[in-house]
Amino acid sequence: MATLRDIKRKISAVKKTQQITRAMNMVASAKLRGAQERMRAFRPYAEKYNEVVQSVASRVEPDAHPLLMRREVRRVGILLVTADRGLCGSFNTNLITKAEKEADSRRERGQEVCFYCVGRKGRDYFRRRKADIRGTYVDNRRITYELASRIAEDIVAAYLQEQVDEILLIYSQFVNTVTQRPVIEPLLPFVPMASEEEGAAGRVDYLYEPEPEVLLSALLPEQVRVQIYHGLLENNTSEQAARMTAMDNATKNCKEMVDQLTLLFNKARQAAITKELMDIVGGAEALKKS
């Protein structure tokens, strides 16, 4: 059995860990509130912007803009968004697993796969596995539109230069503080809604100035930036929620460990007192006999 000093040392260490996890839980909770506000403020804009671009793109020919043109898919680029840090449960693992399964599925079809990694965790994982990484964006302490624009610029350039034939975006969609869902969204080429999806009766004709083809030259690159920025905000909110939950669970586990160690300490102390009493009684009996 461990000595009383060892048990007291373990209790002290666990209590210090509990203080750290509680503080990290509070920090993640504060960051989550800010991230949620930014995400909820931008989500309607992203949805409406996508709706407008879909409507304009559905009224032109597929060859009206290079980002609309579909070609035979031989090389696929995966834009994977993960966190720079850990201590957020299975958050990063779920995203990496999603990307890995998609990559394996594409390779089975005979397609080449490369990665664009946002976040240190995804980059480190695929770098260790010697994957083809075309771009990395790490140490993103704050999610900004400038970051999304920089990523979009590299992605669009790679697609226009035919380095890749299709680009997918993988990020964690925020559902609530308990649930975060990894999702895959097609990024390029941009696929407009089919006319039958709009509905012939519900489709409204608009007058555009300038022409839809000219509008698309400005709208489509911006749509890529908006979609990436929306994914970054969703992923950042999911990360803070996952970290808050993980640290809350860790704090509860520390409390359980302290309770168990305290019980063990009391048992060890009781056993030590009993042993000392037996030694005293034994010594007294020996003196009586002598």
Of 183, 180, 185, which Cα lies nearest the Cα of 166? 185
88 among known catalytic residues: yes
Structural tokens at position 254:
């520390």
Question: How far is residue 97's CA from residue 152's CA, in Å, rounded to a whole number?
Answer: 24
Two structure tokens written together for 42: 């931008």
Q: pLDDT tens across 226-247, in order?
A: 999 999 999 999 999 999 999 9
Is domain 22-246 in CATH 3.10.400.10, yes or no?
no
Report which secondary-structure segment, H or E, holds 174: strand 166-174
> What pLDDT, on a 0 to 100 scale, did the predictor assign at position 203?
54
Helix, strand, or coil here: 237?
Answer: helix
Q: What is the pLDDT of residues 174-202, one digit of tens each?
A: 988 888 999 999 998 888 766 444 544 44
Amino acid identity for residue 193 in this structure: M
Weakest-pLDDT range from 150-164, 232-246, 270-284: 270-284
CB atoms within 10 A of CB 286: 9
Query: What pLDDT score was predicted for residue 126?
Result: 93
Start-to-end CA span in the chain (Å): 35
Residue 287: pLDDT above 50?
yes
- CA–CA separation, 290 and 287 (whole Å): 5
* Active-site residue identified among 88, 114, 117, 254: 88
> For residues 28 and 243, is the Cβ–Cβ distance under 8 A?
yes
In 154-261, which ranges are E strands? Answer: 166-174, 180-188
Q: Is the pLDDT of residue 57 over 60?
A: yes
Give the 3-state secondary structure of 83-96.
CCCCCCCCHHHHHH
204 — pLDDT class (breaks 50, 70, 90): low
Structural domain spans, the chain:
4-21+248-289, 22-246
- Stated as kind and residue range, the H or E segment containing 80 is strand 75-81
User: Which pTM was predicted?
Assistant: 0.84
Is the distance from CB of 129 to CB of 63 less than 8 angstroms? no
What tokens were used for 51?
């709706």
